[in-house]
Amino acid sequence: MLKIFLLRHGETAYNADNNRYCGRTDIPLTEKGMKQAEEVRRQLEGIAFVQVFSSPLQRAYTTASIASGKEVIKDQRLIEADFGEWEGKTKEEFMAENESLWLNWMRDPAIHRAGGTGESGAEIVARVDDFFRSLQFQYSEGNIMVVAHNGINRLYMAHKLGMPLRNYRQLVQQNSSITCFTLDETGTLTLELLNSKLR
């Protein structure tokens, strides 16, 4: 059975600026974000990881490198959602521009595109699910660290837990928090920790 340690990356300047939507913008961690990744490394000390994967964006890759102390494999399927017209804006800013895009997304992100021109929730779930299915083909058991992003992590977990995708925001993932779940041979996800600190 695979045990997945799923992390959200450490803090970025966009996170600190009223949670500005970062999406595909490739910005680094803040000093606080670097310290958060170091803290995760201390929390996970003693856990042997058979492999470490991250989004190709530097905020996730840097977090994974610091937190694991191991070589990190970048995987494009773990990149953050394409937020379309919301990219680089706060919720307040893009709501003022076009409130209907947000209302449609919240009503059913599976079929609506983030920011009007970005990805749909169904597209996001499909690529992230494909990543985890490939892990099951490669590894029959062991601990695997995966460092990705708030949007895709929550949408994937909502899908695997049988929740409507519109409820994905009810799952919380703070910067550099640890979520842990197992995937059995049938692909069933069992959530053990959510948004946690281990020590």
Query: Which element (helix H / strand E) includes 141?
Result: none
8 A C-beta contact, residue 196 and residue 176 = no
d(CA 46, CA 199): 12
Q: Report CA-CA distances (Å) from 118 to 41, 85, 151, 180, 187.
A: 33, 7, 13, 28, 28
Give yes or no for a contact between 50 and 121, defined as CB atoms under 8 angstroms apart: no
Tell me which amino acid residue 44 is.
L
What does the CA dihedral 93, 164, 198, 134 come to, rounded to 10 degrees? Answer: -100
Concerning whether 80 is annotated as a catalytic residue, the answer is: yes
Q: Encode 99-123: b = buried (16+ Cβ within 10 Å), e = exposed.
A: eebbebbeeebbebbbbbebbbbeb
Q: Which of 9, 112, 149, 159 is catalytic?
A: 9
Catalytic pick among 11, 80, 87, 119? 80
Report d(CA 106, CA 19) in Å as an integer: 17
Q: Is 149 a catalytic residue?
A: no
58 Cβ partners below 8 Å, 6+ apart? 26, 27, 28, 29
The residues annotated as belonging to the active site are 9, 80
